[in-house]
């Protein structure tokens, strides 16, 4: 009976999606990069590591030095990819700012067991071509993760095509100012579209600005 229960626990651990919370610098790009790793089912941008973890943060407070770190919460299928492989991928994707709390390289462990695994991973050492070392990653234990504002989620997936469209519209209007080839209606449409993209940028920050507390 005991062996059956142990086996059931192992199976549950493998089937149930696991999470890793990682400080990797600005969270926009690593959250997109890690989503491409086989076995990763979701990534979310958020905050962790404040001295008072129950105090609700927002992007302004984090930038103001409230002690929180920009993090990526990685949800992964442990039957496909293990914790250490997620850390390896995170190490490759990280763009931390050393000396900055907000953009610090940190592995946030949910419990003592995860902290031990993270510490062992750090202790293995290793250096990237740009000089970043595993040993520069700290390990901190916390059971609190604050989901960042909605406009931070999937940032580059949303905004890369929008920025491309904005630059194309501005470029088209600049060329028209020199060559005068656009009909007035087309020029006006370009202006309306460019302004709309700018308003979308501002609107998302006003309307999608809530942070949500999640557990480990």
In angstroms, rounded to a whole number, what is the distance separating the alpha carbons of residues 161 and 157?
8
DSSP secondary structure of 51-72:
SSTTSPP-HHHHHTT-S-EEEE
190 among known catalytic residues: no
Q: How many CB atoms lie within 10 A of CB 166?
A: 19
In angstroms, rounded to a whole number, what is the distance separating the alpha carbons of residues 102 and 134?
18
Q: How many residues does the chain have?
A: 216
In angstroms, rounded to a whole number, what is the distance separating the alpha carbons of residues 197 and 162?
7
In angstroms, rounded to a whole number, what is the distance separating the alpha carbons of residues 101 and 109?
17
Catalytic residue among 26, 45, 63, 190: 26
Residue (of 60, 139, 69) closest to 100 by Cα position: 69
In this structure, are strands 105-109 and 138-141 parallel, antiparallel, or unpaired? parallel
Report, as residue numbers or ranges, the catalytic residues: 26
């Amino acid at each position: 009976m005991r062996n059956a229960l142990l086996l059931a626990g192992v199976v549950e651990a493998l089937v149930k999606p696991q999470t890793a919370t990682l400080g990797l610098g600005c969270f926009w790009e690593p959250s997109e990069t890690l989503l491409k790793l086989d076995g990763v089912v979701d990534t979310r941008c958020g905050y962790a590591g404040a001295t008072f973890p129950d105090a609700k943060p927002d992007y302004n407070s984090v930038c103001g030095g409230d002690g929180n770190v920009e993090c990526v919460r990685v949800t992964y299928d442990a039957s496909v990819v293990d914790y250490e492989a997620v850390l390896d991928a995170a190490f490759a994707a990280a763009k931390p700012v050393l000396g900055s709390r907000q953009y610090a390289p940190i592995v946030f462990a949910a419990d003592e067991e995860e902290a031990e695994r993270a510490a062992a991973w750090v202790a293995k050492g290793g250096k990237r071509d740009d000089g970043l070392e595993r040993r520069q990653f700290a390990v901190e234990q916390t059971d609190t993760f604050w989901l960042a504002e909605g406009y931070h989620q999937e940032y580059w997936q949303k905004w890369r095509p929008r920025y491309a469209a904005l630059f194309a519209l501005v470029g088209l209007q600049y060329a028209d100012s020199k060559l005068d080839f656009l009909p007035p209606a087309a020029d006006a449409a370009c202006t309306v579209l460019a302004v709309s993209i700018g308003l979308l940028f501002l609107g998302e920050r006003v309307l999608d600005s809530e942070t949500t507390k999640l557990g480990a």
